């Protein structure tokens, strides 16, 4: 099997499995207990928080562990509306459903006005339009993703942070696809909130974190025992948190080499695809500029290419046809639709990790020749 669906999720790094297994065997204590078992578990969590915060260059008190990126995003959107009194929210039509469906819910309930910033045909946001929309209110929330999970487009985060600041607005950056891929530094970029999910960088599923700037104050989504300094009640997922921190550390340790290596694989895939199929298109910025891990390809429509994703799967190659979280059910991509891609052509997202090889790209090309 060849796994080219790393934007949906990644396999666990063996070193992460090792650390998590050790914690599973040796540290079952409840971090809220005051005895030795509990205190040992508490130390593991606080060490993980320190590791994560030092890699992001922020304070440990600005990191809140959650169950996933979606939870972090929901917490911020609700908090901004209910506690900070934000009425005007500016987002884009190509955000993840964790943002879009949540905002639809709140706007249908009459709690906020949602504005969708204009995009160019490659899916990059129109900064003049963003500025015009920021002008609509004394204080807005800008909610834009750092890297798009389908087409890999990268947001000019620093510019957006500065623009938000100029209009006294808050900035929630969905960094789920870029945490562990870049040296993100939310404290230096006027980012007030950022979301992370461990399973996107070879960590475990079921754990993520919210970065929240120390000046922000919102209510939690969950009430109860007051864990995570009352921001996220519920007994902590110790194994997950330790696994997240280890995966984050590994990702930062090898980051430059990994970026070069994965970028090389993507470029090799692009040139190999062009050499076998003349009528091929790359969606968004994924061919050249976008996130190094994501390549979104539109194939020519033929009776064979309609079933391409399934044919690839039968031949042992896992890729994605829809968005990350609806992979498996090939629903029409709201991202490709929003950027005006030709929806008659079957699109496949290949997404790479450090565990992929050039030999796998060669194998995929051989299979594509066969099934097309």
Residue 208 interacts with ligand PLP (CB under 6 A)? yes
Residue 91 interacts with ligand PLP (CB under 6 A)? no
Look at residue 142 and give its three-state secondary structure.
Answer: strand
**Catalytic site residue 364?**
no
Q: Interface residues for ligand PLP in 247-306 (CB under 6 A)?
A: none
- CB of residue 286 vs ligand PLP: minimum separation in angstroms? 14
Q: Given candidates 308, 324, 348, 361, which one binds ligand PLP under the rule CB under 6 A? A: 324
Phi, psi of 45 (to 5 degrees): -70, -45
What percentage of the chain's residues is helix, strand, coil (to nearest 5)?
A: 40, 15, 40
As a whole number of angstroms, the distance between CA 101 and CA 78 comes to 13
Q: Given candidates 221, 325, 365, 372, which one binds ligand PLP under the rule CB under 6 A? A: 325
247: Cβ–Cβ under 8 A, 6 or more apart, which residues? 12, 13, 16, 180, 198, 201, 202, 203, 204
Phi, psi of 55 (to 5 degrees): -70, -25
Residue 66 interacts with ligand PLP (CB under 6 A)? no
Residue 149 interacts with ligand PLP (CB under 6 A)? yes
Please say which residue, 265 or 324, places its beta carbon nearer to ligand PLP.
324
Residue with tokens 């979104």: 296
Residue 137 interacts with ligand PLP (CB under 6 A)? no
Residue 69 interacts with ligand PLP (CB under 6 A)? yes
Residue 180 interacts with ligand PLP (CB under 6 A)? no
321: Cβ–Cβ under 8 A, 6 or more apart, which residues? 308, 309, 327, 330, 346, 347, 348, 349
Interface segment toward ligand PLP; rule CB under 6 A; list 47-55, 170-178, 251-259, 308-316: 170-178
Among residues 112, 173, 196, 325, the one annotated as catalytic is: 325
Residues at the site binding ligand PLP, with contacts judged by CB under 6 A: 68-70, 96, 98, 145, 149, 174, 176-177, 197, 208, 324-325
Active centre residues (catalytic): 325
């Amino acid at each position: 099997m060849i796994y080219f669906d790393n934007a949906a999720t990644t396999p666990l790094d063996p070193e992460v499995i090792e650390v998590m297994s050790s914690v599973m065997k040796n540290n079952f204590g409840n971090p809220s207990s005051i005895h030795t078992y509990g205190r040992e578990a508490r130390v593991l969590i606080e060490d993980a928080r320190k590791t994560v915060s030092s890699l992001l260059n922020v304070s440990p008190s600005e990191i809140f562990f959650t169950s996933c990126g979606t939870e972090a995003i929901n917490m911020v959107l609700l908090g901004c509306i209910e506690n900070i009194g934000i009425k005007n929210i500016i987002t884009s039509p190509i955000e993840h459903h964790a943002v879009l469906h949540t905002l639809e819910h709140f706007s249908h309930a009459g709690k906020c006005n949602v504005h969708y910033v204009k995009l160019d045909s490659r899916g990059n946001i129109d900064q003049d339009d963003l500025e015009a929309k920021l002008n609509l209110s004394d204080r807005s929330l800008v909610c834009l993703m750092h890297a798009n999970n389908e087409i890999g487009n990268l947001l000019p985060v620093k510019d957006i942070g500065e623009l938000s600041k100029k209009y006294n607005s808050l900035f929630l950056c969905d960094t789920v696809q870029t945490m562990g891929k870049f040296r993100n530094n939310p404290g230096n970029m006027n980012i007030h909130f950022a979301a992370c999910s461990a399973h996107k960088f070879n960590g475990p599923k079921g754990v993520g974190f919210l970065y929240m700037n120390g000046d922000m104050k919102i209510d939690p989504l969950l009430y109860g025992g007051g864990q995570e300094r009352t921001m996220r009640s519920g007994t902590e997922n110790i194994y997950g948190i330790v696994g997240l921190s280890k995966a984050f550390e590994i990702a930062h340790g090898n980051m430059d080499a990994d970026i070069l290596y994965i970028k090389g694989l993507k470029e090799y895939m692009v040139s190999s695809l062009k050499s076998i199929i003349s009528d091929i298109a790359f969606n968004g910025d994924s061919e050249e500029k976008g996130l190094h891990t994501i390549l979104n390809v539109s194939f020519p429509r033929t009776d064979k290419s309609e079933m391409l994703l399934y044919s690839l799967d039968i031949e042992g190659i896992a890729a994605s046809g829809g968005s990350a979280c609806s992979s498996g059910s090939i629903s029409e991509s709201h991202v490709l639709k929003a950027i005006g891609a030709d929806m008659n052509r079957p699109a496949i997202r290949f997404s790479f990790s450090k565990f992929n090889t050039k030999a796998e790209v060669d194998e995929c090309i051989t299979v594509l020749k066969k099934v097309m």
